[in-house]
């Protein structure tokens, strides 16, 4: 119904990739997205390789469709996770928060598709030279670790700079967002926050409800002084963070305040003092529904919109 080059590359039905969110994107969510025709992703985050291997095995019991693993390159276990991905012959990896250059050749040799997330034209160019299959250009509207440029500004510049396919990410949660991404020249989209508010996502219910409740200006970027800016929902933790940032405390103190806080929110449901990573699009998410409905509704809306756009001519 809406087939693009991304569908061909990944062997999927719809050009939708699920973001690889640490503590949130478990085997259950990945399998649900893949079963719905998108590409589900297990978020390795800071987990050790053997934990990720168990997640891969679990996903294989839940779906016979392709799925991937997101390797968070700042993790102390990134190398370990890459080895597991290689041994398990996971069909696709996405990467975040770094340059995956040193791993690409070995993965490509065994047919693993590599799709790095980039937040700049420079890294997109470097990745194309290293032989990746596509890049995911992620705007600062996203949740979690973010770059500086917005999706609307980053995506077309990356598309102009490289010949490989480009996936748009950041600030997308409905059919209008998908059509906008296609209009910019992207071959598909990656969504994180929209899939957090899904029935199958195993994150604590408080986290899902916080996303549904969030309004347009309810996210903030903290951690700029540490060099690791992270977009999260505003809460008591971010107010504490802002107070310390304004007092110019050392980056180490700020890092210390952030330690373990994503798990506190995602697993224990502490949405007041935990780190509730979320994109700006949370303001537009009004319900928790199955991944199949999320994807079907987006595709139906996008196809309908594209039809109506033909009549505008």
The only residue of 83, 99, 150, 202 in contact with ligand TUI, by rule CB under 6 A: 99
Part of the chain binding ligand TUI (CB under 6 A), chosen from 25-33, 114-122, 183-191, 263-271? 114-122
Phi-psi region for residue 242, left (φ > 0), alpha (ψ -120 to 50) or beta? alpha
Sequence-distant (6+) residues with CB within 8 A of 249 are none
- Secondary structure letter of residue 278 according to DSSP: -
The only residue of 65, 113, 145, 194 in contact with ligand TUI, by rule CB under 6 A: 145
Nearer to ligand TUI, 9 or 146 (CB): 146
Nearer to ligand TUI, 98 or 251 (CB): 98
The partner residues of 289 in beta bridges, in order of sequence, read: 198
Residue 293 Cβ vs ligand TUI, minimum distance, rounded to whole Å: 25
- If binding is defined by CB under 6 A, does position 96 make contact with ligand TUI? yes
Could you tell me if 156 and 185 are in contact, meaning their C-beta atoms sit under 8 angstroms apart? yes
Is 230 in a helix, a strand, or coil?
strand
Nearer to ligand TUI, 128 or 138 (CB): 138
Which of 177, 169, 287 has its CA nearest to residue 231?
169
Sequence-distant (6+) residues with CB within 8 A of 216 are 280, 283
Determine the Cα angle at 119 with ends 106 and 291, to 5°.
80
Nearer to ligand TUI, 53 or 145 (CB): 145
- If binding is defined by CB under 6 A, does position 279 make contact with ligand TUI? no
Q: Whole-angstrom Cα distance, residue 98 to residue 257?
A: 23
Pairing of strands 230-233, 144-145: antiparallel
Is 20 in a helix, a strand, or coil?
coil
- If binding is defined by CB under 6 A, does position 274 make contact with ligand TUI? no
Token couple for 76: 């102390």
- If binding is defined by CB under 6 A, does position 187 make contact with ligand TUI? no
- If binding is defined by CB under 6 A, does position 230 make contact with ligand TUI? yes
Contact string (CB under 6 A) for ligand TUI, positions 49-78, x = contact: -----------------------x-x----
- If binding is defined by CB under 6 A, does position 209 make contact with ligand TUI? no
Residue 292 Cβ vs ligand TUI, minimum distance, rounded to whole Å: 25
- If binding is defined by CB under 6 A, does position 117 make contact with ligand TUI? yes
Residues making contact with ligand TUI (CB under 6 A): 22, 45, 72, 74, 96-99, 117-119, 123, 138, 144-147, 228, 230, 277
């Amino acid at each position: 119904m809406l087939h693009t080059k991304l569908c061909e590359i990944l062997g999927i039905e719809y050009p939708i990739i699920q973001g690889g969110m640490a503590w949130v994107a478990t085997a259950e969510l990945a399998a649900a997205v893949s079963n719905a025709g998108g590409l589900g992703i297990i978020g390795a985050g800071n987990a050790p390789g053997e934990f990720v291997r168990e997640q891969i095995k679990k996903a294989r019991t839940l779906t016979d469709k392709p799925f991937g693993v997101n390797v968070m390159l700042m993790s102390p276990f990134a190398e370990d996770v890459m080895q597991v991905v290689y041994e398990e012959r996971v069909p696709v990896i996405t990467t975040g928060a770094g340059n995956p250059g040193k791993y690409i050749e070995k993965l490509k040799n065994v047919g693993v598709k590599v799709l790095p997330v980039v937040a700049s034209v420079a890294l997109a160019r470097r990745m194309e030279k290293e032989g990746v299959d596509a890049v995911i250009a992620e705007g600062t509207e996203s949740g979690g670790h973010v770059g500086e440029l917005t999706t609307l500004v980053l995506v077309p510049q990356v598309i102009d700079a490289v010949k490989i396919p480009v996936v748009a990410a950041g600030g997308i949660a409905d059919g209008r967002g998908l059509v906008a991404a296609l209009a910019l020249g992207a071959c598909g989209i990656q969504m994180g926050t929209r899939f957090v508010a899904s029935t199958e996502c195993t994150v604590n219910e408080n986290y899902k409800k916080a996303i549904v409740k969030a309004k347009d200006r309810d996210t903030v970027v903290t951690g700029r002084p540490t060099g690791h800016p992270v977009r999260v929902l505003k809460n008591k933790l971010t107010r504490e963070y802002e107070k310390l940032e304004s007092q110019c405390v050392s980056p180490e103190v700020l890092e210390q305040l952030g330690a373990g806080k994503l798990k506190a929110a995602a697993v224990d449901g502490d949405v007041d003092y935990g780190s509730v990573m979320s994109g700006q699009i949370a303001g537009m998410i009004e319900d928790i529904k199955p991944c199949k409905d999320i994807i079907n509704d987006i595709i139906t809306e996008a196809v309908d919109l594209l039809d109506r756009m033909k009549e505008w001519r």
